[in-house]
Structure 1
Amino acid sequence: MSDDHTHVQEFFTARAADWDRRFPDDGPAYAAAVTALGLRPGDRVLDAGCGTGRALPPLRAAVGTSGVVVGVDLTPAMLHEVVRAGRERDGRLLLADVVALPLRTAAFDAVFAAGLIAHLPHPGADLRELARVVRPGGTLALFHPIGRAALAARQGRRITPDDLRAEANLRPLLTGSGWRMTSYVDEDARFLALAVREG
């Protein structure tokens, strides 16, 4: 495991048990973001960097019993919290790194990724790996339950021009990784960028 990945795993391992208690009001924002993904019954969706599994119930509700929901995370402690919260019944869990997914090419109709992009060691290549597992025309949601300014304020920092989630940076990054951005929202109550898998 690279230093980048070790750092990410240590960060989330230290916070896993307390994560849901720290952010108890995020559920409606997750549900709204899943709705924006436009899933249909029977779809196959990947929750990339699923954390404590907050997106798994709304994802399951969207694809129904005939659909497939897979939650993948690098951190065993986070997947343990999925089970502790009873969310494992809404999706299959996979301990894996989103930068090298043990999944078939074009296996999914959509990817949901909450809070993931800031933790990708090589964003272009890593978004390309997410594109690999999605069929052409499939969708991607990059989500955070609060916007960039609110998140920066929470962390005691300022937004800088090189912020990966700034529209001017994110759009070409997605384009170079096999995605076409279709919408971008950055407001206090949520960050949500949607994209379609090209070709």
Structure 2
Amino acid sequence: MADDHTHVQEFFTARAMDWDARFPDDGPAFDEAVRSLGPRPGDTVLDAGCGTGRALPALRAAVGPRGTVVGVDLTAAMLESAVRAGRGREGALVLSDVARPPFGSQVFDAVLAAGLVSHLSRPGPDLAELARVVRPGGRLALFHPVGRAALAARHGRRLTDDDLRAEHNLRPLLACSGWRLDVYADEDERFLALAVRLP
């Protein structure tokens, strides 16, 4: 697992400085993902794999001044970019592995995970750990600002049946990890899977 972590950290460290500039038009997609997740005023929300914190302002706006926003990322350089962009004011930034979140059980009302699933070294157990920190009935949004086909094309790959984010793979994976998949949208302009934490 350390090798997986090292690879992820090296990948994102090399890109942290200009990450936002590479994807300047993603803001509205992040805002819409937060609206779909539906956090309410006063909620406690987690941005798992928050990167440069692009979702933090929308999460803060949704939960208001009485709510709590926490962003967790494995890569220090991405969190540093979040601070430089002023997003550290929107919530607490924590350097940690989302697969071993340093939080008690059932402390969050909702989790946003943008672009995270493909970077999980053990998707089932890692999603189960996210379920552990979310109260029953809480929600999870697995999100990407472009759909699977567009993302594969961006990386010069073809979609395959074993893609973890394909609905026929993701639904049972979530089910065995403590989640019920309620909404699945894979469109050119976004990927969004909304799940509810099972009792």
Q: TM-score, normalised by structure 1?
A: 0.99
Q: CA deviation at 1:3?
A: 0.4
Partner of 1:40: 40
- Whole-Å Cα distance in 2 between the matches of residues 167 and 82 of structure 1? 31
Q: Match of 1:17, SS?
A: coil
Equivalent AA in structure 2 for residue 151 of structure 1 = L
Q: CA deviation at 1:38?
A: 1.2
Q: CA deviation at 1:69?
A: 0.2
- Whole-Å Cα distance in 2 between the matches of residues 100 and 20 of structure 1? 26
Partner of 2:31: 31
- Whole-Å Cα distance in 2 between the matches of residues 119 and 37 of structure 1? 21
Partner of 2:140: 140
Gaps of 5+ in 2: none
Question: Is the aligned partner of 1:153 residue 2:153?
Answer: yes
- Whole-Å Cα distance in 1 between the matches of residues 51 and 151 of structure 2? 18
- The superposition leaves residues 20-75 of structure 1 with CA deviations (integer Å, 9 ceiling, x where unpaired) of 00000000000000000111100000000000000000000000000000000000
Equivalent AA in structure 1 for residue 46 of structure 2 = L
Partner of 1:168: 168
Q: CA deviation at 1:83?
A: 0.4
- Whole-Å Cα distance in 2 between the matches of residues 13 and 35 of structure 1? 29
RMSD: 0.6
Aligned length: 199
Q: Match of 2:46, SS?
A: strand
- The superposition leaves residues 62-120 of structure 1 with CA deviations (integer Å, 9 ceiling, x where unpaired) of 00000000000000000000000000000100000001111010010000000000000
Partner of 2:184: 184
Equivalent AA in structure 2 for residue 20 of structure 1 = D
- Whole-Å Cα distance in 1 between the matches of residues 101 and 32 of structure 2? 27
